[in-house]
Amino acid sequence: MDNYRFILSGGGTGGHIYPAVAIANELKKRYPDAEFLFVGAKDKMEMEKVPQAGYKIKGLWISGIQRKLTLKNLMFPFKLISSLLEARKIVKQFKPHVAIGTGGFASGPLLRMAESLGVPCVLQEQNSFAGITNKLLAGKAEKICVAYDGMERFFPKEKIVKTGNPIRTDLVDVKENKQEASNFFGLDGNKETVLVLGGSLGARRINQLIEKELEFFAGQGFQVLWQCGKLYHKEYKKYDSGSVRVSAFVNRMDLAYAAADVIISRAGAGSVSELCLVGKPVIFIPSPNVAEDHQTQNAKALVVKDAAIMLREVELDAEFETSFSNLVASKEAQDKLGKNIKKMAMPKATEHIVDEIEKLLK
């Protein structure tokens, strides 16, 4: 039998949406006749991204609780009740064989209702510090797929399976051809390159840092491949030149990674998992503006294994130049970071997550 029905929910950010889509793609590969339905939050990016990936999605009237007292917080109980009722209706109509949650507001009501109607549930937690939705759902889940050690702090130990995070398939086979990759971006294949990643929207503090340090990079003999994000491209495109390539978004991440000698990046779960696979020296600058400061926790999980360097935003002015100079001055330090981060890669994460889902079908 492969006419199974799978219901999936994860959203609010690409970090929740991408894993859900990757899991659906792998399930579809194994069960071509299966039916899929995504459930998201009505005004969030999953309502656009999931249909682009070829899947149906239904929206719930749900949002998170703000950290300060706002009108939105007063609306939360009404949104929650509405979402629970709508989620129950969706589950009863669709009759899924398994429900899969990858975090985000909408996955709470959906998986809570699926579980109450006897549908087995699988959670996938991307971060080293678990999100609130997955923590609330963990007690009733059959399996919880994680990417880091030590997750029994948040979840029942007997339910945890360490699978890793789903990775974009085009990155699994990153070919090491620096010259070809450099040519693609109009860079010099004989010069060292620093790749700067602040996420698809961009990261203001990282962009401010790179603008300030352009002369410093040149003095160190580095050219710069700078993804500044679509929110900031207009502001920083003036620096685009033969040795500084500025773009809103990098479509060929495989070539960007191949061109890079050192990488500066945020520490979102998806980025960390990709960079483990790439196996090059990384300086993480975690965003301090995310729930439970989970990017700092993600970066720390690598730092304790000598697999990366981490600098907090408040440390950048005092410590960035010294940290960068020390790293690029030592080939041994670069090799050690590259080897250690590569050891943490889990390239078959999506397949392993789907293996766990398949066990519930039997």
Whole-number Å distance between alpha carbons of 96 and 101: 13
Beta bridge partners of 122: 100, 143
Q: Which residues contact 339 (CB under 8 A, 6 or more apart)?
A: 279
User: Alpha helix locations (H) across the chain?
Assistant: 14-30, 46-52, 71-94, 107-116, 132-137, 169-172, 178-185, 204-219, 233-236, 253-259, 269-278, 294-303, 316-329, 331-343, 349-361
Q: Is 14 annotated as a binding residue?
A: yes
Q: Is 15 annotated as a binding residue?
A: yes
Q: Is 127 annotated as a binding residue?
A: yes
Compute and round to an integer the Cα radius of gyration of the chain. 21
323, 324, 317, 359: which is closest to 122 by C-alpha? 359
Helix (H, G, I), strand (E, B) or coil at 310: strand
Q: Phi and psi for 203 in degrees, rounded to 5?
A: -135, 110
What residue numbers does the annotated binding site cover? 13-15, 127, 168, 200, 295
What residue numbers does the annotated binding site for UDP-N-acetyl-alpha-D-glucosamine cover? 13-15, 127, 168, 200, 295
